[in-house]
Structure 1
Amino acid sequence: MSAVPQERRVVTAIPGPKSQELQARRTAAVAGGVGSVLPVFTTRAGGGIVEDVDGNRLIDFGSGIAVTSVGASAEAVVRRATAQLQDFTHTCFMVTPYEGYVEVCEQLAELTPGDHAKKSALFNSGAEAVENAVKIARAYTKRTAVVVFDHGYHGRTNLTMGMTAKNMPYKHGFGPFAPEIYRVPVAYGYRWPTGAENAGAEASAQAIDMITKQIGAENVAAIIIEPVLGEGGFIEPAKGFLPAISKFATDNGIVFVADEIQSGFCRTGQWFACEDEGVVPDLITTAKGIAGGLPLAAVTGRAEIMDAPHAGGLGGTYGGNPVACAAALGAIETMKELDLNGKAKRIEEVMKGRLAAMAEKHDVIGDIRGRGAMIAIELVVSGTKDGDKTPNAAAAAALAKACHQEGLLVLTCGTYGNVLRFLPPLVIGEDLLNEGLDIIENAFAGI
């Protein structure tokens, strides 16, 4: 149980005076390009609560962008990381290795989809994992082209910016980007021209046709997709899309990569979101929820693909840091012991039920989607003509602001900036979950 009291408390304006003082210091010392959703400065966090320097306690529907799934101070994470800190903080696995790195790789081999022989390499961040997945796929296939999808997000490094679909704030002014990256359609059911029921078959056919004609399947090293697209708006590709793309990759000797950085580790009610349609990727990238808040990432995949790069071709000074590995083992222990897949499914049941009732009253809610504790509502222009799906970014911003003022931390996303995304810690109490939903419901009345 978290040491942080599991109750919302708003005792000042948000942000409060102490946060505002710290914000002034931040403005003077921190680069302006580093943004924050809500400039309240945290002192403690755990369970479903973030406590700030002014004593406010906010209900957490963000989890540090899907990182603190086990809570921000989970007992097993703290215990294991503390013990490792006392032994040693670093040796560099490429200099003198240690058991924790190996044990994390063994856990990844056990937990990721498929019964084939698997190996892993550990890194620091999701973007690093994606970059290394591309390196591995190119080494294995001896090909260069990389295929990604509309609305996809893969990171902020040069290569992963090129792979990311959204210009602002991720790509604008930072080019030129890495070459040999090609973008094809995704089955975005809510916005598919002929209807969601046709999106899976039509989008996969379009994507495969574009790959075949514009790139040449024989030139493609990797096809990379998020099984639930995160920053793009929590888009679940319509049924049939992922299996069709995966089969095309297999048939053409292309490495199929599932980017599970946001959707992995129980977030969607399964260990990995690609399991929903039985898709077994060749490589899977993970980060975020893997280590309970410490920086760790991984590429896991078929042993013969993972072994393709030459010795010394993969690595990094901090990759698989021993403290982060210890934290990951604590996070995985917590996920298993508390059945966080079951918790995520219960969160989905509660949230979708409440949000559906709100949608009956507020036609600004165009779509409710997602799985587990990865739920979103897409907001559209209402009060015009029936079925108007014009994105309503202003409503998303207004709702987020209203929630923040009442002590509920929520995030926006989406290619059009019109999606509210909900990523509560999987350990959140149901009372806090419902209280947060009450705040959202009240916020709708005010826009």
Structure 2
Amino acid sequence: MTLPKLRFKEFNGDWEANTIQHFLDKKFILDQMDGNHGELYPKSEEFSSCGIPYVSATDFSSGTLDFSKCKRLPLERAKLFKKGIAKNGDVLFAHNATVGPVAILKTELDFVVLSTTATYYRCNGSFLNNYYLKNYFESDFFVQQYFGIMSQSTRNQVPITTQRKLSISIPIVKEQIKIASFLSAMDEKISQLTQKHELLSQYKQGMMQKLFSQQIRFKSDDGREFGEWEDKPLSELSEKAMYGMNASATEYDGLNKYLRITDICEISHKLKRDNLTSPNAELGEKYKLGYGDLLFARTGASVGKSYLYSVDDGLAYFAGFLIKFSLKLDLVNPYFIFAQTLTSEFDKWVVTNSMRSGQPGINAEEYSGYIFKVPCLEEQAKIANFLSAIDQKIEVVAQQIEQAKQWKKGLLQQMFV
């Protein structure tokens, strides 16, 4: 059979390749099951704030099970379940709606309950290592198999009966453990970087709260205290608001970028560089973005999402579901204003003002009335520079996370067959 390109030198035996059903029959996999269907399926009113976690695919979409997001069932209700009873060490695979994420269940509880969107695999450690199986499920060899199946279906799912037809390849358990230990060290590195990213992001949020509430104040270069801040509506700090162009997206021409709501990253609020497109229309100068342009999403689930144009984004034109405010550079530092749109105070304002009978929305006139806290330009610049320096650190860590993930992905391609 085909052997992996990259292998630890102390191993040279063949790998066994067969279907998951085959390894279930051989008891390498002791059990595989998803959640309960039918009458045992819990109703929304049965969930509580404490109890046994009821785990859905979205609860481990990041690759780690986040119990804080899980719904919970009272213990006596959870004991009624006959299927989908996952235990510590089980490999979880998201198979419905959200397909692909994998995680190892780590819990001190006797069990958790799975919804119908997740499958657990219970490995016989004498023959199959759970961390090895988890990493195999993340390899391109496995992903390509179930993607091929999903492409033939109208629904985004890989039912457990279909999963059993998929193939996996395994070496002897000692080699599995060696591979799993090596890749687990990579996962730990990624986890540490992710935690560092989260801590930096939390630190930035905390500092913004203190800076914009004026708990912390900067002083001028000569040691003088700055004056009082003023409350100013956005309409006084920018040119008249403008809606974007009504055009469809077409293949990226390599120069002219089309910026839509979905092209703004939910986390960084920067332009996403993957899947760039160009506007399929005449490129009007009024729709071209420039320094100091601040955009807001005006409708839908992303209402309130903001984006500040960066010269690094090159030629860019904005779409119709976005509203542009060209900030007056003699009055405000663009980043200082943009940073206030990333605060919890702004989020609360968006929730309150976007309520509609249909889709949530905020129009140009409403955004124009939002009140910003504005000190002198010199203090604005100091705050903007301070927060931008944190952004740079966050960006460096984000790049390190992506590099580590890509390195691991490359290893998976070479270490598995």
TM-score by length of 2: 0.26
**Structure (1 or 2) with the larger CA radius of gyration:** 2
The one of the two structures with greater contact order (alpha-carbon pairs below 8 A, sep at least 6) is: 1
TM-score by length of 1: 0.25
